[in-house]
Amino acid sequence: MSEVRGALEALARGRPVLVYDADGREGETDLVVASQFITPSIVRTFRKDGGGLVCVTLPHDVAKRIGLPLLEDALRRLGDHYPLLGDLLKGSPPYDARSAFSITVNHRGTYTGITDRDRALTISRLAQVCAEAMESNGMKAHSAFAREFRSPGHVHLLIASNPLLESRKGHTELATALTMMAGLIPTATLCEMMADEGGALPKEEAKKYARGRNLVFVEGQEILEAWGKWSGSWLRESLISSI
Amino acid sequence: MSEVRGALEALARGRPVLVYDADGREGETDLVVASQFITPSIVRTFRKDGGGLVCVTLPHDVAKRIGLPLLEDALRRLGDHYPLLGDLLKGSPPYDARSAFSITVNHRGTYTGITDRDRALTISRLAQVCAEAMESNGMKAHSAFAREFRSPGHVHLLIASNPLLESRKGHTELATALTMMAGLIPTATLCEMMADEGGALPKEEAKKYARGRNLVFVEGQEILEAWGKWSGSWLRESLISSI
């Protein structure tokens, strides 16, 4: 069984998987789980064993329907009122052309928003609102989102690029592609894995962590190849069904 | 020796302290250190033993001089372009009238921005730029900040309310007051402490953690009392020197 197939099966069972992007990019492993299966215990594992930011991906189309902008685009528009914010956008991150960050949110039913229980509530409702947004129009998606969430919050939203995995091949896109290929609600929750020595967890140590816990470790290149086949066959099928 | 005096001495030696806000508010303990003394190892302790978001406070005057807005004010201005963002602001957090969040930043010398080394670099430079901003005009503070930092990033900025500890008595204000009373650069780095059971770390467990590591645990009320005396005497002195 390929690593990607193993990852899809694990995600569909609500298990976390480890995703390494690429040697030339961040060179970083993220813990990834399908957002619909988040639990307070998974949030705890992510913050304790990962140590980075707990973030939730949304497909570009869903974010657009809801009305969520990339943070960069939003900050750019603020440059007139707050010239500093325009200046802080200058130059790109060293590892990619742009960051995938959107805003931060808390579910309105949370208290501080930061506890494992609060973040799990925010994330599981994000998954449901994402599923609903895919089947509704923009107006409805917008009001459903605003009814449930508040900003600023403690969960970072990430918006995947469009078309997926063409211009940008980051953890946001890789994890979103996995949830789509697994036939799940297309949102993943992820957290970067850090080492004790001040840097990112080296690839070999991340693999060791995965082996020790019987988790799947999968690399960006493998996901890209699987995605190429999967989206190709989906495209062919939809072309055939459209003629 | 009072707990506050112990906290000030610890902060001046670069040691973390634990700050509990109040039973009726978040009921939460944050790990706090003076930003000027941050190290990758302290970031690691914060994310591992705290588990919340690693945030950096700035006094209101410094943020104003640099040109940094509260995120709420920025999002409100975006309501014309992105109506969703206006709607996400509706209602306040359950524990206070507003959140202290400003934007997220990375130092331009970081790579991904999330490793312990990267966050420590971002935070220690924030402390220096904060110190410089206090002695320079707005134009200079703005360009120094934009030269060193990029947004979006992985370190959350928090802006303390003005006047400090009057309208808002959160961790942002309490920690900022401690750095000021300790005579340090008035910026603190903090991280909320979580329990393994899904909620915030209970006060008694936070006290136990502090005792086990010989760290000071101090409550909001004690800081408020000390601040009342300290800022009162400062005010009297400056009144006397002005006549």
pLDDT at B54 over 60: yes
Q: What is the pLDDT of residue B236?
A: 62
Concerning whether B214 is annotated as a catalytic residue, the answer is no
Q: What is the pLDDT of residue B17?
A: 98
Q: What is the pLDDT of residue B137?
A: 81
Helices (DSSP H) in A54-134: which residue ranges?
60-66, 71-77, 83-88, 116-134
User: Minimal Cα–Cα distance from A54 to chain B, Å?
Assistant: 9
Q: What is the pLDDT of residue A93?
A: 86
Query: What does the mean pLDDT of chain A come to?
Result: 94
| Segment B176-218, tens digit of pLDDT | 999 999 999 999 999 999 999 999 999 999 999 999 999 999 9
Please state, in angstroms and rounded to a whole number, the distance separating the CA atoms of residues B98 and B101. Answer: 9
Chains A–B, number of C-beta pairs less than 8 Å apart? 174
A90: Cβ contacts below 8 Å, ≥ 6 apart: B146, B150
Rg (CA), chain B: 18
Concerning whether B107 is annotated as a catalytic residue, the answer is no
What percent of chain A clears pLDDT 90, i.e. is strictly above it?
87
Please state, in angstroms and rounded to a whole number, the distance separating the CA atoms of residues B228 and B243. Answer: 23
| Segment A65-88, tens digit of pLDDT | 999 999 999 999 998 899 999 999
Give phi and psi for B188, each to the nearest 5: -120, 150
Concerning whether B95 is annotated as a catalytic residue, the answer is yes
pLDDT at B230 over 90: yes
* Options B106, B107, B116, B118, the catalytic residue: B106
User: Minimal Cα–Cα distance from B203 to chain A, Å?
Assistant: 15
CB count within 10 Å of CB B236 equals 10
Please state, in angstroms and rounded to a whole number, the distance separating the CA atoms of residues B13 and B6. Answer: 11
Concerning whether A30 is annotated as a catalytic residue, the answer is yes
- Grade residue B92 by pLDDT with cuts at 50, 70 and 90: confident
Please state, in angstroms and rounded to a whole number, the distance separating the CA atoms of residues A152 and A154. Answer: 7
Q: What is the pLDDT of residue A137?
A: 81
Starting at the edge strand found earlier in the chain, the sheet holding B17-20 runs B101-107, B149-159, B55-58, B188-192, B29-34, B17-20, B217-219
Question: Hey, is the C-beta of A115 within 8 angstroms of any chain B C-beta?
Answer: yes
Q: What is the pLDDT of residue B95?
A: 83
Concerning whether B191 is annotated as a catalytic residue, the answer is no
Chain A positions in Cβ-Cβ contact with residue B88 (cut-off 8 Å): 103, 105, 145-146, 149-151
Predicted TM-score of the model (pTM): 0.95
Chain A positions in Cβ-Cβ contact with residue B53 (cut-off 8 Å): 53, 114, 154
A77 → chain B, closest CA residue: B78
Chain B positions in Cβ-Cβ contact with residue A66 (cut-off 8 Å): 84
Q: What is the pLDDT of residue A92?
A: 84
Q: Give the mean model confidence (pLDDT) for residues B120-137.
A: 96
B190 and B31 in contact (C-beta within 8 Å)?
Answer: yes
Q: What is the pLDDT of residue B232?
A: 82
pLDDT at A40 over 90: yes
Question: Hey, is the C-beta of A14 within 8 angstroms of any chain B C-beta?
Answer: no
- Grade residue A34 by pLDDT with cuts at 50, 70 and 90: very high
User: Minimal Cα–Cα distance from B226 to chain A, Å?
Assistant: 26
| Segment A219-229, tens digit of pLDDT | 999 999 999 99
pLDDT at B243 over 60: no
CB spacing of B146 vs A90 below 8 angstroms: yes
Interface test with B, best of A54, A88, A96 (most B CBs within 10 A): A88
